[in-house]
Amino acid sequence: MILRRARYELQGRLGGRLLAAFEGWLARRRHSRRRPGPFGPPLESSRKLKELMSVHYFEGRYADGAVPVAWVTSGFPVEVLRPLGFHAVYPENHAALCGVQRLVPALSDAAEREGYPRDLCSYARTDLGSLCSGRTPVGRLPRPDLLACCTNICQTVLYWYRALSARLGVPLVLLDTPYVYGSTKPHHLRYVQDQLEELVRVAERISGRRTDPEALLATAGKAKEGTELWGECLAAGRHCPAPWTAIDGFFHMAPIVSLRGTDACNAYYRMLRDELLDRARRGVGGLREEKYRLLWDNLPIWFAVRELSTLFAARGFNFVCASYTEAWAEAGARIDLADPLGSLSAAYTHVLLNEDLEHRRTLLGRLARDYQVEGAVLHSDRSCKPYSIGQVDLRERLARDLGLRVLLLEADHSDPRAYTAEAGETRLTAFMESFG
């Protein structure tokens, strides 16, 4: 056990870094002769991002048996688990990776063979398929000792994690966050906090540790700071030209989701922020020539990010902001170290996807104004109903209230079988042509 723990730490500090450095060297060699195309110079910070995430997955390979392992939904208050020594794995992040690498059809097939219909969320199919087949692009995911599920992003995670719990024979703790229609009621927040206290006791039993209040405060503080730093990175996009694209943002979002509450996460975002502000000062843009500024709503289309961003960039269209990335900047604002559990309860109840359409409409309106966008693409993601329901109305309101040109694009966040590239590109091109 001690040896395993030592190996976990060592691999995290050393092995992972070496691996990331080697992979980075290989990538640079491959791309050294590639012309930049319509994009501006790549972000220097990207190298560090790759290293950070590689280390995370690499040390994960040695986590089980060494430290308690939790599989966690992206919206779960991981701040209560980190002080107990849990290594947190994010199946959604893993599934996004699979989406980018176009592995979802094969993994989904494995899940479909088990009887999961293709109409289910593609993240869930990817994760269940990976579990059933044992296949993953990250080497190995550690087996969980605990499943931690919070329904603030959707109810589907409840059914997904329920299935994981049955398959793995692992306890599931649920943080059920009542949806916010306009405003929360006191008993809603009381419920969330009560559940948080209940589940912390379960997590303590599994980790064999009691929560150190100092450690909890420290983690919550780091999480708060991390979301603020992430917000500063995003805000750099307000400059004209924006120093990066929202598509970059989807990738650089990984630490605030998967490493929230850690020093490494915050150090990374300081570095990224500084680089972005420096570029903004020097007028270096995410695009070589930014002619139009757009907003992206909903999850990205992971399997087509490169093609789509190039399609837009080639005509000078830059996505300068996105509701999905913005959600993670908002999340930590309510964290208050004077009342960690109470404020965490409020923070995680008020996550973007747990708030109603009016809230989202307000957010999109604010983004449109602050980032001076002229148009928007609303990705109608068939795998994500909480995000997609209401987009037909949203499109009308954004067009009418803000005079934006808005396109509703039907696709999926990670299953390419649900997207017809040719038809999609035709529509996107026509959309761009409509700008004159």
Peptide bond into 117 cis (omega under 30): no
Closer of 115 and 208 to another protein (Cβ): 115
Phi, psi (deg, nearest 5) at residue 188: -65, -45
How many residues touch another protein (CB under 8 A)? 61
CA distances from 173 to 71, 85, 163, 271 (A): 11, 17, 13, 35
Rounded CA gap, 48 and 73, in Å?
24
78-117 binders of another protein (CB under 8 A)? 109, 112-117
Rounded CA gap, 430 and 420, in Å?
16
Shortest distance, position 394 Cβ to another protein, whole Å: 7
Reported for 155-164, long-range contacts at CB under 8 A and 24+ positions apart, including other chains, are 155/386, 156/120, 156/121, 156/124, 156/385, 157/73, 159/124, 160/121, 160/123, 160/124, 160/127, 160/128, 161/71, 161/73, 163/124, 163/128, 164/71, 164/127, 164/128, 164/131
Residue 179 contacts residue 59 (beta carbons within 8 Å)? no
Nearest to 319 by CA among 250, 421, 396: 250
Residue 400 lies near another protein (rule: CB under 8 A): no
Q: Which helix (H) or strand (E) element contains residue 280?
A: helix 263-282
Residue 162 lies near another protein (rule: CB under 8 A): yes
Rounded CA gap, 253 and 329, in Å?
10
Residue 119 lies near another protein (rule: CB under 8 A): yes
Q: Which residue has the tokens 């995430």?
A: 53
Shortest distance, position 271 Cβ to another protein, whole Å: 37
231-250 binders of another protein (CB under 8 A)? none
Query: Can you spell out the DSSP letters for 37-55?
Result: TTB-PPPTHHHHHHHHHHH
Contact residue for another protein among 72, 256, 394, 404 (CB under 8 A): 394
Rounded CA gap, 296 and 300, in Å?
8
345-374 binders of another protein (CB under 8 A)? 356-358, 361
Shortest distance, position 388 Cβ to another protein, whole Å: 6
Residue 297 contacts residue 377 (beta carbons within 8 Å)? yes
Residue 212 lies near another protein (rule: CB under 8 A): no
> Which residues, other chains included, contact 325 with Cβ-Cβ below 8 Å and sequence gap of 6+?
230, 234, 246, 249, 250, 253
Contact residue for another protein among 52, 84, 98, 120 (CB under 8 A): 120
15-54 binders of another protein (CB under 8 A)? none
Contact residue for another protein among 15, 178, 342, 365 (CB under 8 A): 178
Q: Which residue has the tokens 């630490």?
A: 255
Residue 205 lies near another protein (rule: CB under 8 A): no
Residue 234 contacts residue 326 (beta carbons within 8 Å)? yes
Contact residue for another protein among 8, 62, 123, 191 (CB under 8 A): 191
Closer of 23 and 197 to another protein (Cβ): 197
Please report, as a single letter, which amino acid is at residue 180.
Answer: V
Identify which range of 138-146, 185-193, 221-229, 249-257 contacts another protein by CB under 8 A. Answer: 185-193
Closer of 239 and 395 to another protein (Cβ): 395
Please report, for the chain, how many H helices and E strands are present, in that order. 19, 8
Identify which range of 80-88, 277-285, 295-303, 386-394 contacts another protein by CB under 8 A. Answer: 386-394
Residue 129 lies near another protein (rule: CB under 8 A): no
Closer of 11 and 151 to another protein (Cβ): 151
Identify which range of 18-26, 63-71, 319-327, 412-420 contacts another protein by CB under 8 A. Answer: 412-420
Shortest distance, position 182 Cβ to another protein, whole Å: 8
Residue 251 lies near another protein (rule: CB under 8 A): no
Identify which range of 176-184, 250-258, 320-328, 398-406 contacts another protein by CB under 8 A. Answer: 176-184
Binding residues vs another protein (CB under 8 A): 109, 112-117, 119-121, 124, 149, 151, 154-156, 158-163, 165-166, 172, 174, 176, 178-179, 181, 185, 187-188, 190-191, 194-195, 197-198, 356-358, 361, 380, 382, 385-386, 388-394, 397, 410, 416-417, 420, 422-423
